[in-house]
């Protein structure tokens, strides 16, 4: 166990979209040019089991990736994953951040650190930021996420309660997490006024119970647990020639979507972005920030967003897209003839704003309205940037395009995390359900002539291969019910998702 942070408990496995395409999208929509879309160098600090960075390496085979983590179990698991997926463009380094400058690494276009800033002390945070500042190319992007204030101020006493309970197990963080949670849970169940008067703390306790001991150990039991104000982070970045660009989720970059309506007038005169973000955190009682910074004084140009929309193709993840998206302080709707025509066009094929404006069904709405509708779809994640595109050819035999994705599908029944497949055209991953994973295997392992009657293949999978099918958290024991579920899912998938999986490079 490190004196600085938890290393004897492996962190929970997950995929977080830290993709270059997403970070470049944040930059472009805020008026900043991004690094190159292909052939870039990328580093993830605190890469854990490699679940996120491996997907990105598989989705961007012409680029180079480096993952850094101090936990040996994490690094060993990440190297196994890369070897099984035959990823030759990724390297994992087992190093403390304070020793990382000794390692030979290239200069990077992207550096990411998800959650790490909140879990390390000042010396290691300095080492991480110094490394990023030294190794980022001019115009390169740094992503950091961290527990934010003022939101966490009300929950800090909960950590103290956990530490009191954990004191009886000094060298075993799993046991410390168990004892700490047990004490907090007993206090909650006994009606401690801290919990009855602080529903946020009660909700956090419920989240701990759902996510388990590894989450508790890493989130709360590090020696240095440091929620931060945005102004503190922005100041530390500026000292290293790193400047705020924008944040995720994308809608938070837009005042009308991020703020409660009654606060828009209050914020109207604020032009300084750091001041705006600081006050916005109070308006939203922010708990967690996902920020993007750029290396060097890169000039902001308001026309960059329009240019990006005109030159970048955008596509849908599903057909049909939802008619509204609920945000914390409002609802973004997609009703009316304009959105109907826009989504119908994107369902046929990913397209740029410029290409959309040339379509007869969209041209009458005018350039400003079409761009505005596309932008709304993008910032609410209804539409996503697409690079390489392939037209769907349903009459052809289908195959999974990469060894990495084939490995993930093969291992899906025993995987600890949701299945995420690399989508080269998106430069990131697409999450698929267990039933969708079975459908992908069915479509690529069964001849297309048998797609109309796949029951025998499905029954063989469920019976002879003892495939454990779980739907909605329920284990499906009945073979006939499982077969019906998978066949129904295949029909929906072929209608709503198949073209997207071909267009985005998961299937070919």
Q: What is the pLDDT of residues 290-302, one digit of tens each?
A: 999 999 998 888 8
Same domain, 45 and 137: yes
Q: What is the pLDDT of residues 283-327, one digit of tens each?
A: 999 999 999 999 999 888 889 999 999 999 999 987 766 778 888
Hey, what's the torsion of the CAs at 230, 233, 239, 244, to 10 degrees?
-60
Same domain, 437 and 475: yes
Same domain, 315 and 177: no
Question: What CA–CA distance (Å, rounded) separates 378 from 307?
Answer: 15
> Which sign, positive or negative, has the C-alpha torsion 325, 326, 328, 332?
positive
Q: Is residue 373 part of a domain?
A: yes
Find the domain containing 208 and state its range. 156-214
Alpha helices in 119-269 (DSSP H): 122-135, 156-166, 173-189, 193-196, 199-211, 213-220, 230-238, 255-258, 264-267
Nearest to 282 by CA among 297, 293, 267: 267
Question: Highest mean pLDDT: which of 172-181, 229-238, 393-402?
Answer: 229-238
Q: What is the pLDDT of residues 403-451, one digit of tens each?
A: 999 999 887 766 666 789 999 999 999 998 888 888 888 888 877 666 6
Cis amide bond preceding 462, omega within 30: no
What pLDDT sits at residue 370?
Answer: 95
Q: Is residue 391 part of a domain?
A: no
Question: What CA–CA distance (Å, rounded) separates 489 from 172?
Answer: 44
E strand map for 300-407? 313-316, 324-327, 330-333, 383-386
Same domain, 246 and 135: yes
Could you give the number of structural domains in the chain? 4
Name the band, by pLDDT with cuts 50, 70 and 90, for residue 52: very high
Q: Which of 253, 279, 295 is the last residue of a domain?
A: 295
Question: What CA–CA distance (Å, rounded) separates 224 from 395?
Answer: 57
What pLDDT sits at residue 423?
Answer: 95
Q: Is residue 8 part of a domain?
A: no
Cβ–Cβ under 8 Å, residues 148 and 230: yes
Q: Is residue 209 part of a domain?
A: yes
* 3 state SS of 445: helix
Same domain, 67 and 121: yes
* 3 state SS of 428: strand
Q: Which of 295, 324, 353 is the last residue of a domain?
A: 295
Q: Is residue 9 part of a domain?
A: no
Q: Is residue 221 part of a domain?
A: no
Cβ–Cβ under 8 Å, residues 201 and 195: yes
Question: What CA–CA distance (Å, rounded) separates 52 from 31?
Answer: 27
**Does 490 score more than 90 pLDDT?**
no
Q: Which segment of 79-83, 192-196, 368-372, 431-435 scores lowest on mean pLDDT?
A: 431-435
Q: Which residues contact 41 (CB under 8 A, 6 or more apart)?
A: 63, 64, 65, 66, 106, 107, 108, 109, 110
What pLDDT sits at residue 1?
Answer: 41
Residue with tokens 């359900």: 433
Question: What CA–CA distance (Å, rounded) separates 483 from 456?
Answer: 9
pTM for this model (two decimals): 0.91
What pLDDT sits at residue 469?
Answer: 72
Same domain, 145 and 26: yes
Q: What angle do CA 317, 145, 184 make, to 5 degrees?
A: 105
Question: What CA–CA distance (Å, rounded) separates 169 from 9?
Answer: 14
The mean predicted confidence, pLDDT, of the chain is 88
**Does 395 score more than 60 pLDDT?**
no
What pLDDT sits at residue 414?
Answer: 62
Question: What CA–CA distance (Å, rounded) separates 160 from 266?
Answer: 36
For the chain, percent of residues with pLDDT exceeding 90: 59
**Does 253 score more than 90 pLDDT?**
yes
Over residues 358-366, the mean pLDDT reads: 95
Question: What CA–CA distance (Å, rounded) separates 162 from 439?
Answer: 44
For the chain, percent of residues with pLDDT exceeding 70: 92
Same domain, 86 and 137: yes
Nearest to 152 by CA among 285, 290, 248: 285
Q: Which segment of 217-231, 369-383, 456-470 scores lowest on mean pLDDT?
A: 456-470
What pLDDT sits at residue 393?
Answer: 56
């Amino acid at each position: 166990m490190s004196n600085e942070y938890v290393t004897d408990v492996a962190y929970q496995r997950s995929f977080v979209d830290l993709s270059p395409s997403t970070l470049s999208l944040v930059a472009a929509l805020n008026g900043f040019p991004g690094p190159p879309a292909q052939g870039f160098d990328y580093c993830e600090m605190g890469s854990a089991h490699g679940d996120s960075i491996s997907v990105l390496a598989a989705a961007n085979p012409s680029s180079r990736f480096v993952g850094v983590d101090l936990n040996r179990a994490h690094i060993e698991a990440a190297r196994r994953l890369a070897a099984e997926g035959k990823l030759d463009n990724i390297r994992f380094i087992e190093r403390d951040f304070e020793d990382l400058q000794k390692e030979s690494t290239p200069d990077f276009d992207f550096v990411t650190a998800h959650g790490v800033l909140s879990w390390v002390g000042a010396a290691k945070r300095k080492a991480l930021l110094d490394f990023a500042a030294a190794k980022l190319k001019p115009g390169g992007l740094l992503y950091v996420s961290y527990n934010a204030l003022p939101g966490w101020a009300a929950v800090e006493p909960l950590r103290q309660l956990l530490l009191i309970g954990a004191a009886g197990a000094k060298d075993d963080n799993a046991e410390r997490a168990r004892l700490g949670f047990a004490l907090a849970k007993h206090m909650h169940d006994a009606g401690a006024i801290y919990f009855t008067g602080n529903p946020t703390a009660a909700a956090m306790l419920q989240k701990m119970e759902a996510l388990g001991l590894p989450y508790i150990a890493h989130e709360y039991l590090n020696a240095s647990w440091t929620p931060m104000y945005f102004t503190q982070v922005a100041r530390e970045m500026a000292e290293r020639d790193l400047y705020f660009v924008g944040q995720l989720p994308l809608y938070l970059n837009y005042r009308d979507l991020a703020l409660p309506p009654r606060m828009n007038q209050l914020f109207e005169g604020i032009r300084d972005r750091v001041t705006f973000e600081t006050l916005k955190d109070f308006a939203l009682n922010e708990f967690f920030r996902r920020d993007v910074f750029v290396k060097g004084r890169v000039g902001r140009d308001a026309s960059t967003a329009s240019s990006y929309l005109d030159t970048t193709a955008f596509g849908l993840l599903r057909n049909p897209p939802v008619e509204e998206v609920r945000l914390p302080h409002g609802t973004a709707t997609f009703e009316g003839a304009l959105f109907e025509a826009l989504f119908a066009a994107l369902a046929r094929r990913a397209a740029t704003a410029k290409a959309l404006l040339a379509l007869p069904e969209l041209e009458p709405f005018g350039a400003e309205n079409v761009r505005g509708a596309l932008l709304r779809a993008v910032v609410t994640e209804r539409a996503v940037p697409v690079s390489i595109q392939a037209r769907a050819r349903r009459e052809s035999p289908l195959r999974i395009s990469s060894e990495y994705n084939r490995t993930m599908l093969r291992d899906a029944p025993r995987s600890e995390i949701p299945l995420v497949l690399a989508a080269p055209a998106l430069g990131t991953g697409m999450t698929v359900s267990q039933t969708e994973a079975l459908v992908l295997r069915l479509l690529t392992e069964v001849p297309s002539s048998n797609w109309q009657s796949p029951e025998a293949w499905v029954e063989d999978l469920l019976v002879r291969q003892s495939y454990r099918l779980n739907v909605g958290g329920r284990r499906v024991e009945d073979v006939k019910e499982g077969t019906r579920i998978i066949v129904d899912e295949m029909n929906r998938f072929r209608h709503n998702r198949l073209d997207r999986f071909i267009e985005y490079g998961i299937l070919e």
